[in-house]
Structure formats: C-alpha cells, structure tokens
C-alpha cells in the first residue's frame, strides 16, 4: 500500500480536547440552554444534559477547547525511518493554535505538497482545529482552507479511511487497529475519556501531552505497516522539547 506516498511529506497530528469550562454550572445561562438543546438531539431521552457535559462537551468545538496538539515528522537516517515529535500545549487555547498554525505555515513552505496524516482526522481533528481557530479569530493557512477543495483534493491521509477500503459504515479505533496489525503500543495510564478529568482536576498538561504523543507514534507505526517497511524502534522516536 501507499506506493506513491512519501512519508517525509506528511505532517502527522493528534489533538486532545476538553470541555471548555470545568463543569456545566460554569457555563453562561445561554450556553447551558444551547448545550441541553444540542445533547437532546444527539442522545434523546438517554442522558441528563447537565451530567453529559463533563463527558461529552470536549467532543464538540462549540463547547470544548483544544489543550494539546502533537505533531510528527518522518526523516531518514542510516537507511531507516525516524520520527520527530513536538507538542503544543497550554491552558490558553489561542497559544496552542497560534503555535501549531505557525508550524503548518513553515512546513508548507518547505513541503508545498505535504499531507496532514492521522487517525480520524477528516471527521474530528482537522475540523475541530479549524472551528476553534475561527472561534479564536485566527487566520487559517491555505492548507486548512478546505471549503474550496473537492473531496479527492483534501490534503489528508487518514488511517481510518485507509482501513475502511471504501466501507464508510465501519469505524475502527486506533487502539484496535494497532492491535490487529500487530503493532506494540505502551500501556497508557489514561485514555481519551479521562483527558477532561486530568486537565480540570489534576491540572496535568504534561501527562496529557505524553498521551497525545503516543497516538502520533501509533499512527506513524500504522503508516509504516501499510507501507510495508520496518516499524520504528524506541530509540528512533525523538521528542522535541517545547
């Protein structure tokens, strides 16, 4: 697979999101009403909207925020692929987005035909980034101005879509896909459902960034497996300090 994809032209990414405020009661009254209205349409008669806020608000760009974006870059050394990873994380979402968008512009200048790469980034990560950037009144770089693209022109390589092989009914998590592909992954001390709690109660952004970086590594390993080349060794992954 992927005979025409140059891995060093990919910008791998993963984001971590949380509810925009610590709890439902911290929302302005208008936003409380709008949240209850939204969640009632998504899961009618199955949840208390107020209780659902803590678990679900981070999934929606209108009610959540980005606390971490991790990116990865392939490069070749000693005839083997290596990976550099850098994370942007901050309590101030605007800072996270500004730093990420600046990197995107620099990467585009160096690799004009680059592709974003990740798992389920078409439906989640990229739209979320774009929506939150607009909310924060930040300019989107040309590579993220997607409204004018035809579906086949969108500059993304999504491992979920690769695995679907055209079957749009199927959803496979990154964790399941790495398992069935025989890719070893480190045991995580948290999962995605715990990010909001770790952020709002434990105030541990570094822990969240570490978790986010592991997903970038998992995506990189999947792409290598799809490409039919050796997986990364632990020493071939370099974390760039923020």
The residue count of the chain comes to: 242
The model carries a pTM of 0.94
153 within 8 A of 114, measured Cβ to Cβ: no
Structure tokens at 38: 């939204």
Task: Tell me the CATH number for domain 7-20+63-240.
Answer: 3.30.420.10
- Beta-strand pair 115-118/10-19: parallel
118 within 8 A of 85, measured Cβ to Cβ: no
99 within 8 A of 209, measured Cβ to Cβ: no
- pLDDT tens sequence for the chain (242 residues): 888 899 999 999 999 999 999 999 999 999 999 999 999 888 776 667 888 899 899 999 999 999 999 999 999 999 999 999 999 999 999 999 999 999 999 999 999 999 999 999 999 999 999 999 999 999 999 999 888 777 667 889 999 999 999 888 889 999 999 999 999 887 677 888 889 999 999 999 999 999 999 999 999 999 999 999 999 999 999 999 86
Radius of gyration of the chain (CA): 18
Structure tokens at 101: 């968008």
Q: Compute the distance between CA of residue 162 and CA of residue 123 in angstroms, rounded to an integer.
A: 14
Structure tokens at 67: 């606390």
Q: Compute the distance between CA of residue 117 and CA of residue 122 in angstroms, rounded to an integer.
A: 9
- Cβ count near 68 (within 10 Å): 25
Q: How are the residues of the chain apportioned to helix, strand and coil, as percentages rounded to the nearest 5?
A: 50, 20, 30
202 within 8 A of 196, measured Cβ to Cβ: no
Structure tokens at 156: 């993304």
The per-residue pLDDT for 192 is 82
- Cβ count near 76 (within 10 Å): 10
Residue 185 vs residues 60, 177, 215: alpha-carbon distances, Å: 28, 11, 9
Q: Compute the distance between CA of residue 58 and CA of residue 2 in angstroms, rounded to an integer.
A: 33
């Amino acid at each position: 697979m992927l005979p025409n994809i140059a891995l060093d032209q990919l910008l791998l990414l993963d984001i971590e999101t949380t509810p925009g405020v610590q709890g439902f009661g911290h929302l302005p009254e208008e936003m409380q009403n709008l949240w209850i209205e939204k969640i009632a349409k998504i899961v009618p008669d199955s949840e208390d909207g107020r209780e659902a806020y803590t678990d679900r608000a981070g999934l929606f760009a209108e009610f959540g925020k980005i606390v971490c974006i991790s990116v990865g870059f392939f490069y070749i050394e000693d005839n083997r692929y290596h990976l550099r990873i850098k994370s942007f994380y901050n309590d101030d979402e605007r800072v996270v987005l500004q730093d990420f968008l600046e990197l995107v512009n620099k990467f585009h200048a160096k690799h004009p035909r680059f592709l974003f790469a990740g798992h389920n980034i078409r439906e989640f990560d990229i739209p979320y980034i774009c929506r939150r950037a607009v909310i924060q009144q930040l300019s989107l770089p040309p590579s993220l101005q997607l409204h004018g693209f035809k579906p086949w022109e969108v500059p993304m390589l999504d491992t979920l879509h690769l695995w679907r092989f055209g079957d749009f009914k199927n959803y496979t998590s990154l964790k399941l896909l790495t398992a069935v592909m025989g890719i070893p992954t480190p045991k995580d001390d948290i999962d995605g459902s715990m990010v909001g709690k770790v952020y709002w109660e434990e105030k541990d952004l570094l822990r969240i960034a570490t978790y986010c970086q592991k997903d970038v590594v998992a995506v990189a390993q999947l792409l290598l497996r799809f490409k039919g080349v050796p997986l990364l060794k632990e020493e071939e992954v370099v974390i760039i300090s923020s």
